[in-house]
C-alpha cells in the first residue's frame, strides 16, 4: 500500500483528498503546515508527497526545495489555487515532478498520482523525452522545446501536446481529446477544444516555418510533419 504525505492547511480540501485517496487504498498522513510536514517527512518514508503552495508558515515551493536537498527520489506533486505559469515554473525548478491547479476533479489527481508512482518504478534508462520533428517534450519536467527554444505551456496545453506527441500521424477527434486531456465527457460541446488547440498551436508554430498540427475539417486534428 502506498503511503502519501499530504501537506494542506485547508481542512475541507485536505479532507476531500484524504477521503478519496483512502477509498482508493492509499494510506495518507496530513500535515497542516510546513513545520509539521518537515517533522513527518524526516521521521517517515513516504512514497509520494502532495504539497499545497499556500501554507500558513511557508509555501510549498520552499518546502519542496528543502525536501529536495536531502531527497531527490520521492515524487512530489504541487497543488496551487491559481494557474500561474510562474508558480508552475518555480515549483518544477524547486524539484516538483508535477503540478495541479485547484479546483480539480479527484480523478485527475488520482491519475497524476498513479503516473508519478509508476514512473518511480520505471528504470532510469527509459526514455522520457518524446520527439516529433524538431519538437521535444520532457515528460518528467513537463517542458517543451522546439529547435532548442523553450516553450512555456500551461498544464492543459502540455496535456494536449503530450497526447499528440504520443499519437503522431493519427487523426484525433475532439471527443477523444476531451476525454483524454480533460478526463470527462463534455455535454456542452467541444468548441473549447478549438480554443485550446489555437493557444497551443500559436505557441509551438508561431515563430516557425513548418506547421506540426493540422485541422482536419469536420474530424479533428492530426500531428503530421509537412516538408
Ligand atoms: Ca493552502
Q: Separation of 37 CA from ligand 1 center, angstroms? A: 13
- What pLDDT is stored for residue 85 in this prediction? 65
> Quick check: 43 and 85 in contact, CB under 8 A?
no
Over residues 94-111, mean pLDDT: 91
Q: Separation of 151 CA from ligand 1 center, angstroms? A: 29
pLDDT in tens, 50-82: 999 999 999 999 999 999 888 888 999 999 887
Asked if residue 120 has pLDDT above 70, the reply is no
Q: Residues whose CB is under 5 A from ligand 1 (ion)? A: 9-10, 52, 54
Q: Separation of 61 CA from ligand 1 center, angstroms? A: 12
Q: Separation of 176 CA from ligand 1 center, angstroms? A: 34
Asked if residue 125 has pLDDT above 50, the reply is no
pLDDT in tens, 105-118: 999 999 999 999 98
Q: What is the pTM of this model?
A: 0.55
Q: CA 52 to CA 54: how far, in whole Å?
A: 6
Q: Separation of 10 CA from ligand 1 center, angstroms? A: 5
Alpha helices in 27-173 (DSSP H): 34-43, 60-70, 85-93, 106-120, 155-166
Over residues 186-203, mean pLDDT: 83
- What pLDDT is stored for residue 50 in this prediction? 98
Q: Separation of 35 CA from ligand 1 center, angstroms? A: 14
Q: Separation of 183 CA from ligand 1 center, angstroms? A: 25
Contacts by residues 214-220 (CB-CB < 8 Å, ≥ 24 positions apart): 216/171, 219/171, 219/173, 220/171, 220/172, 220/173, 220/174, 220/176, 220/177
Q: Separation of 14 CA from ligand 1 center, angstroms? A: 9
Amino acid at each position: 500500500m502506498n503511503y502519501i504525505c499530504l501537506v494542506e492547511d485547508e481542512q475541507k480540501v485536505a479532507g476531500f483528498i484524504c477521503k478519496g485517496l483512502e477509498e482508493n487504498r492509499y494510506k495518507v498522513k496530513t500535515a497542516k503546515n510546513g513545520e509539521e510536514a518537515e517533522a513527518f517527512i524526516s521521521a517517515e518514508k513516504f512514497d509520494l508527497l502532495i504539497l499545497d503552495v499556500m501554507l500558513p508558515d511557508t509555501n510549498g515551493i520552499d518546502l519542496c526545495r528543502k525536501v529536495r536537498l536531502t531527497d531527490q527520489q520521492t515524487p512530489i506533486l504541487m497543488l496551487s489555487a491559481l494557474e500561474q505559469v510562474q508558480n508552475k515554473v518555480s515549483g518544477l525548478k524547486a524539484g516538483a515532478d508535477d503540478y495541479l491547479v485547484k479546483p480539480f476533479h479527484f480523478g485527475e489527481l488520482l491519475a497524476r498520482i498513479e503516473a508519478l508512482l509508476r514512473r518511480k518504478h520505471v528504470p532510469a534508462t527509459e526514455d522520457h523525452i518524446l520527439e516529433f520533428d524538431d519538437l521535444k517534450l520532457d515528460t518528467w519536467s513537463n517542458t517543451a522545446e522546439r529547435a532548442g527554444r523553450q516553450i512555456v505551456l500551461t498544464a492543459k496545453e502540455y496535456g494536449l501536446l503530450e497526447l499528440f506527441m504520443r499519437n503522431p500521424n493519427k487523426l484525433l477527434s475532439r471527443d477523444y481529446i476531451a476525454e483524454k486531456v480533460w478526463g470527462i465527457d463534455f455535454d456542452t460541446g467541444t468548441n473549447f477544444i478549438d480554443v485550446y488547440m489555437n493557444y497551443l498551436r500559436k505557441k509551438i508554430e508561431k515563430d516557425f516555418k513548418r506547421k506540426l498540427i493540422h485541422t482536419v475539417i469536420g474530424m479533428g486534428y492530426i500531428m503530421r510533419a509537412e516538408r
